[in-house]
Structures are given as C-alpha cells and as structure tokens.
Amino acid sequence: MYRGEIEINADNRKLLVEFETTLSVDRSLSKNTLAAYRSDIYKLIAFTEGKNLKKISSEEISAFIQELYDVHLSGRSIARIVSGLKSFYKHLIIEGELEANPMQFILTPKLPKKLPEVLSHSEISEMIAAIDLSKIAGERDKTIMMLMYGCGLRVSELTGLKINNLYFEDGFIRVMGKGDKERLVPIGGKTIRQVKYYLEYYRRHVETKASQNTLILNQRGNSISRVHVFKLIKKLAEKAGISKSVSPHTLRHSFATVLIEAGADLRAVQQMLGHESITTTEIYTHLDKAYLKTIIEQFHPRA
C-alpha cells in the first residue's frame, strides 16, 4: 500500500521509541510483534504525509481506515492495525502526551469467528506414514511431526528447541515461547523414543560445533528453518491425500483438540500451549461443540 522510505520526524521517532520500549518491557512482546506495530503506525504517518502523531485527528484516522478498505486490505489486517493504533494512543494518554484520544470512537472491525482446521489422528498417522524413511532425513521429518503433534509446539518453538532442554526422565521439555516466555511441556513415551532414535541415527552424523546444542538440524548441520518445516508439512499432507489446508499450526490445533475432546482441563491445555489468555484456548471448546454438532446431524435419525 505505502511503499518506499517514510520520513519520520524527530518527535514521531521519539514517541515510537518510547512506545516500543513500553511494549517490550511491560508486555514482553517479540521483535516481530514490535515490528508489526511500528509498520502499522508508519502507514498512518505516510497517509497523513508525515504529520505529528499527536496532532492527527479522529477524522483523519477514520479516513485512513477507509483507505485501508478501499485498497481491499483484509478485515483481519485492518482489525490488527486498528488494535495497534488504539494501543499506541492509549499509551500517549497514560504518559500524559495527549489529553483527548483520537481513537476513542474508532470501532475495531468485527471478524467472523473462524474455527481452526484440524486433522484427525488417522490423518496425522497417514502423514507420518508418507515419510520416506529410506532417506537420511526421514527420521528427522518423523521427529518434527511427532514433536509438533505430540507437544503442540509452534514452528518457532520447534526450531528453537535445545538438547539441554530435554528432560526425558521427568517427561518434560522446556520450550521458549512468544515473548521469550519459557514453559514446561509434557512429552509422551512414543515421542521420547522417536527423539532418541533421531539423535542416534541422524543428528549425530550431521551436527557441527556451531549447532551442538540445537535439536533439529538440516543435512548441513545447521538449525532447520521455519520455511523448511512449512514446506515439509504441506508436502506430507499432499502425499497423504489430505485436501484440507494444512500448515504446521494445524498440528498444534489438532493437539489441542484431541486433549479437549478427551476431557482435559482447559487451564492445563492453556499452560501446555503457552496461551497468555484462557479465551484463546476456549476456541477449542467451540471446536469440540462444532464437531459434536456434525456427528449429531450425520448419525441421529431425528436431528
């Protein structure tokens, strides 16, 4: 939408630096999230042709949001931008930089609740069966699948796993989640056996001094990339004949759904997933109800 270098005056730069510092310290947000906030505020500055952020009116912000709709930005992206601007101007009010909040009457677009795509256990098994174990990387790929589905990891958590964070005797692994927040995640016996097999028959043959503590490695002995994991999961889904839209996050959704459907405590699932808010985890209870509804409609003669 807005391309090229954006001129940021000294006053705006100071406000942005202070805002990012607050987000980093108080909310422990990741660098990627901070960059997203910065990018969204840059869009507003570009739209107002470099105007001081403290002098932008509600009318100008409304016109900016309308422009986002006019260029067909998705509702989800617009909602994120509005949310970021609300946080920024709330920060200015709290810090005494502004008396009136120009975002006060700006509404965040309401988004339809979209239940995440999930895979059944048999579909997961078919994806694992599609792995070519005759190739040297086969056991690594199987380990990736089992860790993501068996522990509900995000891609960044998988690629960042360290060997010294594996506590197999206790049945846990230590995971670095969003905002550099650590948590302990249970790991089952089958996954433990697979990781041990991978360590013995793949990893020790490719490791280097630089990667000696990184768990998942590519064939050059370097940390595996997130892009590689995305491509792997999509390829295995295609080979297994699964027509759903599948990504690494689908495995995380499937992990949570299995636990909820089996009656697991919502707070326990929240802790395992590393969700900051219980409301994020509650989507899986909705998913469970949606699943039950389809079962009723399919098999109940009077439904």
Backbone phi, psi, residue 196, to 5°: -65, -40
The pLDDT tens digits of the residues spanning 197-208 come to 999 999 999 999
The pLDDT profile of the chain, 303 residues, written as one tens digit per residue, is 444 456 788 999 999 999 998 888 877 777 888 888 899 999 999 999 889 999 999 999 999 999 998 888 888 889 889 999 999 999 999 999 999 999 988 888 876 666 678 899 999 999 999 999 999 899 999 999 999 999 999 999 999 999 999 999 999 999 998 878 889 999 999 999 999 999 999 999 999 988 889 999 999 999 999 999 999 999 999 999 999 989 999 999 899 888 887 788 878 888 888 877 767 676 666 555 554 455 445 554 554
What is the pTM assigned to this prediction?
0.62
The two counts, helices (H) then strands (E), for the chain are: 14, 3
How many CA atoms does the CB half-sphere of 221 hold within 13 Å? 9
Percentages helix, strand, coil for the chain, rounded to the nearest 5? 60, 5, 35
Within 99-246, strands assigned E span: 166-167, 172-176, 182-186
Active site amino acids: 154, 178, 249, 252, 275, 284
**In the chain, what are the domain boundaries?**
10-94, 121-299
Contact status, residue 215 vs residue 161, Cβ threshold 8 Å: yes
Show the tokens assigned to 301: 């003669």
Any bridge partners for residue 223, and if so which? 217
The CATH number that domain 121-299 falls under is 1.10.443.10
Those residues with Cβ within 8 angstroms of residue 207's Cβ, 6 or more apart along the chain or in another chain: 217, 221
The CATH number that domain 10-94 falls under is 1.10.150
